[in-house]
Chains A and B, each alone.
Chain A
Amino acid sequence: MQRRLSISFAAVCVLFALLTARLMYIEKTSGERYEKKVLSQQEYDSSIIPYQRGDITDRRGTVLATSVDVYNVILDSKVLNSVKKTNEKNKKNTDIIETTLKYLGQVFPDIDLEDARKTITEKPDNQYHVLKKHASYDEMKTFSTLSTDKETKDKIAGIWFEKEYVRGYPYGSFASSVIGFCSSDGNGVTGIENRYNGMLNGVNGRSYGYVSEESALEQTVIEAVNGNTIVSTLDMNVQTIVENEIKAWNDTRINEENKARFGSKNTAVLVMDPSNGEVLAMATYPTFDLNAPRDLSAFYSEEELAALTSEDQFNALNTIWQNFCITHSFEPGSTFKPFTIAAGLETGSVKGDEIYECDGGEQIGPDYVKCMLTHGQLDLKASLGQSCNDALMQMSYAIGAENFSEYQHLFGFGQRTGIDLPGEARTDSLIYSKEDLGRTINIATNSFGQNFNVTMIQLASAFASIVNGGNLYKPHVVKSIVDPSGNVVKSFSPEIEKKTVSPEVSEEMKTMLRAVVEEGTGGIAGVLGYDIGGKTGTAQKLPRSAGKNLVSFIGYAPQEDPKVLIYVVVDEPNDPDQAHSVFAQEIAHNIMVQILPYLNIEKADPTLFDEKKEYTPMFTSIETEGTVHTEQTGEEAPESTENTAAPAPEPTEGAQQ
């Protein structure tokens, strides 16, 4: 027995020895290969944790754009099939596929269960099949609760959720051209969304495993860094009032007779704080819905849409996404007159005590440039108040090309303002050079705002500098940037770009501008009880004979230390009688009636109230002012100059960039 037992024991020992040899053999022959294999099959299971794009809010924190988490429903056929197999082996009666589909159908009624079933049977190894995109958090939560619930958890398998964020704009078309919208991949296309894309976007997080130096597998989660919140300078209330009034006015221009789609080609309003360059409201018309930026149905009938080529569509979209206030340039017309006068006063070439004789126009070489009326004798204040072209032309001779050009540039015309929005129009080639201004016809027409182009933001910023004592602030739409934990990363303080006029000239100008509203052409815009100054403008568009106009009003309040500036532009109002600034003044009036009390603008006379819509225009007769009729006499006409080195100002249309 002892011998046989020893033999058995020896046999076991031999077997162990053989196995040890086998181990060594494996290590010797394939060790290195297997080790590489082990490292290579570590998939590190890396998955992306999406960041949340920052919000855009108004100056008081109302959220105008935000990212909402949504969940894609993913079907894993492989898991479902394997659970089914296991269940069958364990003789469990539940058909996991059918019960899972049943609960899916309950929570997500719009999932195509047949499609899911097909995927499970036809692609049993498929691990990623999107059943539904962008399910809401509530739906995801409902289903997740079911799949962890005691009763139902054994009946659900192979469904998981992929988190994503989608951009949402709670107020639809509200401030659409300023806020802008995002592409589906989370990059801003227009507006603040585009300009502050880098600040709004965060950094995706990642969860992954990696092999450390000691070849040990480490699991790491790098949390996503969410984007910063952009606090804009827009005031939700002001913007709403502005948008409502633009729409209300335009609606009155649409009637049975004209069957027009829109009340004007473009209407744009800019409300700024002249004391720091902050934009309180910036609105354009027509507008679009940020939640459906590619929907053209408001602009074209179905038949028209069907007829559009994709290029046409692209162009049409690019047009509606424009922010008129900064991307369009146009001839300002009479709203430019204050700048000519300010330049004259500041350089001393205009003393202020001149008397101008308006005889209905000026003969400049072969051209006769008309004034609207024959004003007779006018002092400086009345020249502006009556918007007399003849007086301004005479003034320009006194100022001279050198001074005029210098001040045009000093006020920022021909340059970008640098506003923090994309697509600001270039106007450097749309104004005359000093040399070109040497030609009398050019400086003469320029003096009352014709034959050169400006943008709304340019003119408004420059106008602000006239009324605020001479500080040309850089206009901006963003107040501050706040990180996800609420700390202010950056705040934008007022930036003075230039000093334009002296405080004394500023005061003089304000007195004259106040008179425009009190007793001049700007009476309709005035609001009872408030000290408002401003200037009207009516610019005939090219070709001058077409009778199309761009009418405008720019004003400020209060007279002492202005706190708000409003600039209204109506481009081609839908009305045959459009060569006057009443439309723009009406809009400005209706807006100011509401925003002046809201912004706590000091009243000049607290006993006077101007009920909205119940105002009686101070001017009952419609004046036609500032319109010039240049008689075209061949190549000498500014519009048709071909030989000059001067960049000929282009027509208003399509004059951007």
Chain B
Amino acid sequence: MGEANIKKFKRSRTKRLYYFDYSLFLMLIILFAFGMVMLYSVSAYQGNLKFGDSAYYLKRQALFGAVGMLILFIMIKVGYSFLDRLSGLFYFVSLILCVAVNFMGSSGGGSVRWFRLGPLNVQPSEIAKVAVIIFLAHLISRSNKGLRSTANIIKAFLFVIPFVVVIAYTNLSTAIIVAGIAFIMLFVAGKKSMIFVVLLIIGALGVALFIIFQGYRSNRISVWLHPEDYSEGFQTMQALYAIGSGGVFGRGLGASMQKLGFVPAANNDMIFSIICEELGIIGAIGLMVLYILFAWRCLVIALNAVDQFGSFLVIGIMTHISLQVVLHVAVCTNTIPNTGVTLPYISYGGSALIMLLFEAGIVLSVSAKIPIPAEADEGTVLTQ
């Protein structure tokens, strides 16, 4: 049906040809399908145990995926320009939600993180990531000469600070991702360099201080360094066991033992470790290459976007997905302290999947606005 939409789109403007990034779309489908297969493999045991239905998680994920896909096609059809006009609204609404969740939300895993909305758990921080991307893209595209001065860059940062602070209160990892998105977007837009070095240092110090002063998290450092010695290190150790036991080629799809109740949160925060166990290092590298290709297509689209707003939307989204993959893999390999980060398009999670498909829709809609020069053929135009 995607193609049907595109054809219609093409027919309505027969005079000019527009680019549509099929390879990105294909990668998205592959990622999503792979995600469903892996999720089913990982969650079947738990689903059967908890709900008496081995496909319980798969069915729910498929439902949210369908909703997300619908949003994706609507985005392609409608185009992304309306986001420019609504960026302020997005910004404030999601900020209010992020604050409100601390008082009215439901808890899970120790922190209050989401609203219950019927069958869906809505995480305002998931929305916040997109809101920040849209708002910063809007901001950058409006400062028509770019962010020339350090002051402007700092001003732009100030808009993001409330989000980071509010989200960090309950969910440090998402706060880091939000900060990281802002950092990269402004770094690409900015004309100065020193300020970013300084910000990097400040950011690192901030994280360090945050960890030291917030009691229950400070223990995570010792757990991180010596996971074997702490009962809190159980999840990390189990994830490492899974990765280690997978070897180069893995146990084979569906053959993980660690998913049988040993790796906590195996279907979201730790799914990569089960992928390693079942598909081995080869499978893990393959998956990471897929994400890199995904990011590379985003890069190409960003560089060819018709306007700066679209360009920076794509940069933000690229950063978001890449950062999340990096953090997720880093957590699973105990490269950084344990913090809950999901693997985009693969981990179980309703609101996250919908938002990620929405983001993919934005990227594709940006690609769809790129005109193809009359004499060039599609393949050569956008190679950089």
Is the beta-carbon distance between A90 and B292 smaller than 8 angstroms? no
Q: Is the CB of B326 within 8 A of A35?
A: no
Contact, CB under 8 Å: A12 / B295: yes
Q: Report yes or no: B244 in contact with A34, Cβ–Cβ below 8 A.
A: yes
Which residues between 23 and 54 of chain A lie within 8 Å of chain B, taking CB atoms? 23-24, 26-27, 30-35, 37-39, 41-42
User: Which residue of the partner chain A has the closest CB to B319?
Assistant: A8
CB neighbors of B among A78-119 (8 A):
89-91
Chain A residue with the shortest CB-CB distance to B330:
A19
Q: Which residues of B contact A216 (CB under 8 A)?
A: 251-252, 255, 257
- Contact between B248 and A27, CB atoms less than 8 A apart: yes
| A90 adjacent to B244 (CB under 8 Å) | no
Q: Is the CB of A89 within 8 A of B107?
A: yes
- Using A5-B315, A37-B241, A38-B258 as known contacts, say yes or no to A26 and B247 having CB atoms under 8 A apart: no
Asked if B302 CB lies within 8 Å of chain A CBs, one says yes
Inter-subunit contact B107/A23 (CB<8 Å): no
**What 0/1 readout, one digit per residue, does chain B (132-168) give for beta carbons within 8 Å of chain A?**
0000000000000010000000000000000000000
Known interface pairs A12-B292, A38-B241. Does A5 touch B326 (Cβ–Cβ under 8 Å)?
Answer: no
B37 contacts partner chain A, Cβ-Cβ < 8 Å: no
Whether A215 contacts B251 by the Cβ 8 Å rule is yes
Interface assignment of A488: CB less than 8 Å from any CB of chain B: no
Would B244 and A4 count as touching, CB distance under 8 A? no
Asked if A145 is at the interface (CB within 8 A of a chain B CB), the reply is no
Residues of A within 8 A of B205 (CB): none
- Asked if residues B292 and A23 are in contact (CB atoms below 8 Å), the reply is no
Known pairs A5-B315, A16-B288; A41 contacts B262 (CB<8 A):
yes
Cβ proximity bits B212-251 to A, threshold 8 Å, 1 near / 0 not: 0000000000000000000000000000111111111001
**Min CB–CB distance B199 → chain A (angstroms):** 14
Interfacial chain A residues near B241, Cβ < 8 Å: 34-35, 37-38, 41
Contact call B188/A16, Cβ cutoff below 8 A:
no
Point out the residue from B260, B288, B335 that lies within 8 Å of A217, measured CB to CB: B260
Measured CA separation A22–B284 after assembly (Å): 12
| Binary contact track B326-345/A, C-beta < 8 Å → 1, others 0 | 10011001010000000000
B281 touches A23 (CB 8 A): yes
Chain B residues with Cβ below 8 Å from A37 are: 241, 244-245
B306 to chain A, nearest CB (A): 15
Chain A proximity of B297: nearest CB distance (Å): 11
Residue A493 interfacial (CB < 8 Å): no
CB of A20 within 8 Å of the partner chain: yes
Complex-state Cα separation, A571 to B36, whole angstroms: 85
The residue on B at minimum CB distance from A24 is: B281
B303 within 8 A of A: yes
Q: Does B189 contact A (CB under 8 A)?
A: yes
Contacts A16-B292, A19-B326, A26-B244; A8 near B187 (Cβ below 8 A):
yes
Contacting pair B244 A5 (CB below 8 A): no
Q: Are B319 and A33 in contact (CB under 8 A)?
A: no
A29 to B328, CA, bound (A): 21
A2 located at the interface, meaning its Cβ lies under 8 Å from any Cβ of chain B in the complex: yes
Assembly CA distance A30 to B281 (angstroms): 14
Bound together, the chains give a CA A598 to CA B187 distance in angstroms of 108
Instruction: Judge if A9 is at the interface, Cβ distance under 8 Å.
Output: yes
Q: In whole angstroms, what is the CA distance A556 to B299 when docked?
A: 109
Contact between chains at B244 and A31 (CB < 8 Å): yes
Contact status of A215 and B288, CB under 8 A, knowing A26-B244, A34-B243, A35-B245: no
Nearest CB on A from B241, distance (A): 4
Alpha-carbon separation in the docked complex, A211 to B251 (Å): 12
- Is B358 part of the contact surface with A, judged by Cβ < 8 Å? no
A22–B332 Cα distance when bound, in Å, is: 11
Which of A26, A39, A91 has most chain B Cβ within 10 Å? A26
Which of A8, A89, A90 is within 8 Å of B184, CB to CB?
A8
B240 in contact with A26 (CB, 8 Å): yes
The answer to whether B322 touches A26, judged by C-beta atoms less than 8 angstroms apart, is: no
Q: Is the CB of A1 within 8 A of B288?
A: no
Q: Does A599 lie at the interface of the complex (its beta carbon under 8 Å from any beta carbon of B)?
A: no
Q: A26-B243, A27-B244, A34-B240 are in contact. Are A9 and B257 (CB under 8 A)?
A: no
A222, CB-defined interface residue at 8 Å = no
Given contacts A15-B326, A22-B333, contact A31 B292 (CB under 8 A): no
Partner of A33, one of B244, B284, B322: B244
Whether B379 is near chain A, meaning CB under 8 Å from some CB there, is no
The number of residues on chain B lying at the interface, defined by a beta carbon within 8 Å of a beta carbon of chain A, is 47
Chain A residue nearest in CB terms to B251: A215
Inter-subunit contact B257/A38 (CB<8 Å): yes
Give A11's nearest chain B residue, CB to CB.
B184
With contacts A19-B335, A41-B262 taken as known, whether A5 is within 8 angstroms of B245 at the C-beta atoms is no
Within 8 Å CB of A27, what residues of B?
A: 243-244, 246-248, 281
* A13 located at the interface, meaning its Cβ lies under 8 Å from any Cβ of chain B in the complex: yes
User: How far apart are the CA atoms of A216 and B281 in the complex, in Å?
Assistant: 19
Which residues of A lie under 8 Å from residue B188 when comparing CB positions? 1, 4-5, 8
Among A12, A20, A214, residue most surrounded by chain B Cβ atoms (within 10 Å)? A12
Residue pair B299, A5 in contact (C-beta under 8 Å): yes
B291 within 8 A of A: yes
Nearest Cβ on chain A to B229's Cβ, whole angstroms: 15
Nearest Cβ distance between residue A34 and chain B, in whole angstroms? 3
Q: Are B291 and A16 in contact (CB under 8 A)?
A: yes
A217 → chain B, closest Cβ, in Å?
5
Q: Does B22 contact A (CB under 8 A)?
A: no
Query: Is B302 a contact partner of A5 (Cβ separation < 8 A)?
Result: yes
Contacts of A22 in B (CB 8 A): 330, 333, 335
If the complex has contacts A23-B284, A31-B244, are A217 and B303 also in contact, measured as CB distance less than 8 A? no
Give the complex CA separation of A41 and B218 in angstroms: 29
Q: How far is the CA of A23 from the CA of B242 in the complex (A)?
A: 11
Complex: how many Å from CA A91 to CA B104? 11
Name A9's contact: one of B248, B260, B295 (CB within 8 Å).
B295
Q: Is the CB of B106 within 8 A of A217?
A: no
A24: which B residues are within 8 A, CB to CB?
A: 281
Please measure, in the bound complex, the distance between the C-alpha atom of A16 and the C-alpha atom of B328, giving whole angstroms. 11
Min Cβ gap B360→A in Å is 17
A residues 210-225 with Cβ under 8 Å of B?
A: 211, 214-217
Find out whether the CB atom of B242 lies under 8 angstroms from the CB atom of A20.
Answer: no
Tell yes or no: B118 within 8 A of A by CB. Answer: no
Q: Complex: how many Å from CA A19 to CA B146? A: 34
B296 CB within 8 Å of chain A = yes
A20-B295 in contact given A12-B326, A27-B248, A35-B247 (Cβ < 8 Å): no
Cβ-based interface call for B119 (8 A): no
Q: CA separation between A24 and B284, bound complex, in Å?
A: 10
CA distance A411 to B296 in the complex (A): 104
CA distance A324 to B252 in the complex (A): 69
Q: In angstroms, how far is the closest chain B Cβ from the Cβ of A502?
A: 76
Whole-angstrom distance between the Cβ of B271 and the nearest chain A Cβ: 15
B109 nearest CB neighbor, chain A only: A89
Q: Give every chain A residue within 8 A of B288 (Cβ-Cβ).
A: 16, 19-20
Residues on the B chain within 8 Å of A217, using CB: 257, 260
State whether the Cβ of B276 lies closer than 8 Å to any Cβ in chain A: yes
Alpha-carbon distance A27/B250, docked complex (angstroms): 11
For chain B, residues 250 to 303, give those with C-beta under 8 angstroms from any C-beta of chain A: 251-252, 255, 257-258, 260, 262, 276, 281, 284-285, 288, 291-292, 295-296, 299, 302-303
B341 to chain A, nearest CB (A): 13
Q: Name which residue of chain B comes closest to A34, CB basis.
A: B244
Residues of A within 8 A of B251 (CB): 214-216
Cβ–Cβ < 8 Å partners of A30 in chain B: 240, 244
How far is A90 from B116 in the complex, measured between Cα atoms in Å? 12
From known contacts A4-B188, A26-B244, infer whether A19 and B315 are also in contact, taking CB-CB under 8 Å: no
20 A-B contacts, Cβ less than 8 Å apart? A1-B189, A5-B299, A8-B184, A8-B187, A19-B329, A20-B281, A22-B335, A23-B329, A23-B333, A33-B244, A35-B241, A35-B244, A35-B247, A39-B257, A41-B241, A42-B257, A214-B255, A215-B251, A215-B257, A216-B257
Interface pairs A-B: 7 shortest CB-CB: A34-B244, A35-B245, A38-B245, A34-B241, A12-B322, A31-B244, A4-B188
Given A23-B329, A35-B247, A214-B255, list of 6 further CB < 8 A pairs? A16-B325, A19-B326, A22-B335, A26-B240, A27-B246, A34-B243
